[in-house]
Amino acid sequence: MVIKGNKYGTHRVISPEGVLTQAAQKIDNDMSKLYSNEIICDVISLNIDSASFTQIKQACDKDPERIKAMIMSIVNERGKMQNPVTGSGGMFIGSVAYIGEDLKDRGLKVGDKIVSLVSLSMTPLKIESIKQIHMDIDRVDVVAKAVLFESGIYAKMPDDMSEALALAALDVAGAPAQTAKLVKPGDNVLVLGANGKSGVLCCYEAMKRVGPTGNVVGLVRRESQIQKLLDLGVCHKVILASATSPVEVLEKALAANDGREYDISISCVNIESTEMSSILPVKDKGTVYFFSMATSFTKAALGAEGIGKDVNMIIGNGYTKDHAEITLHELRENAKIRELFNTIYV
């Protein structure tokens, strides 16, 4: 008998009781259990969150076999891919294997290829085997199954680009879509980690929004990345500094903006202790958008308080309305970014 589960997946929570699956230490990843309001997918690849994959690589000395073992250990212990250090997950691409009766009206059919738009940190996942680790693009090819709950969001694979390209972009879809909502004409915008996937897309979206009177400044940590960003045309200026050195970032960021503080900063870095570099250059009543999953709320909140900064701080919600459509449209309308993604992330 197929029964109906909770809309948000609490029927899969093992411990502790009374929490949602993201906060749970362990969830039920038994794929033989069928619920009328779940979708089960055969998973092809996992895109591990950048902060999580960076931490795993460092802990395993970039040894592929140790990375495989660590990922398997996490999933076997938790029933999901949630890094116990960063707390973050990622997303998956797969094909629909089962659609519960209550979800038959969603326009999906068995065999459809989809990309999950909810975090692996809350997604029941059962890995049979890991086929390959793609070290430079945070991707793991697997034989696995995963569950999407009734509340879960996903995107059908587009037919005008490769699966790998779509997955690379949709992995960070929340960032450029949030940028589109936040940035206004005439704004001065600072993007930390401007050379990564989310950083490039945020810079591009910001450039579209600020118009001729705005200024988009990207921050990178390698000199070789400066000209590449300028050639892409996604920044007015690019500065070189470590995002873990807030005083250096402040000085160089202000110099790149004629001594003025910024209306908005966007953090797309994948390492810890960069909160103050995001906060310091922003003016009072300005906005700091922390897309990075390496962000510490405590460091950000207490740090802003400690320097007397009255700024609006936004947590990097990976979802905002139409985020998948906005991000895929960016690849369609900008040939240079599409080529970059095809070269580096596919």
Q: Which amino acid is at 7?
A: K
CB of 147 within 8 A of CB of 92? Answer: no
d(CA 200, CA 242): 17
| Tens-binned pLDDT, residue by residue, of the chain (346 aa) | 789 999 999 999 999 999 999 999 999 999 999 999 999 999 999 999 988 999 999 999 999 999 999 999 999 999 999 999 999 999 999 999 999 999 999 889 999 999 999 999 999 999 999 999 999 899 999 999 999 999 999 999 998 998 889 988 988 899 999 999 999 999 999 999 999 999 999 999 999 999 999 999 999 999 999 999 999 999 999 999 999 999 999 999 999 999 999 999 999 998 899 999 999 999 999 999 999 888 999 999 999 999 999 999 998 877 788 899 999 999 999 999 999 999 988 7
In order of their start, the domains of the chain are 10-157 (no CATH), 174-344 (3.40.50.720)
Q: The pTM is what?
A: 0.82
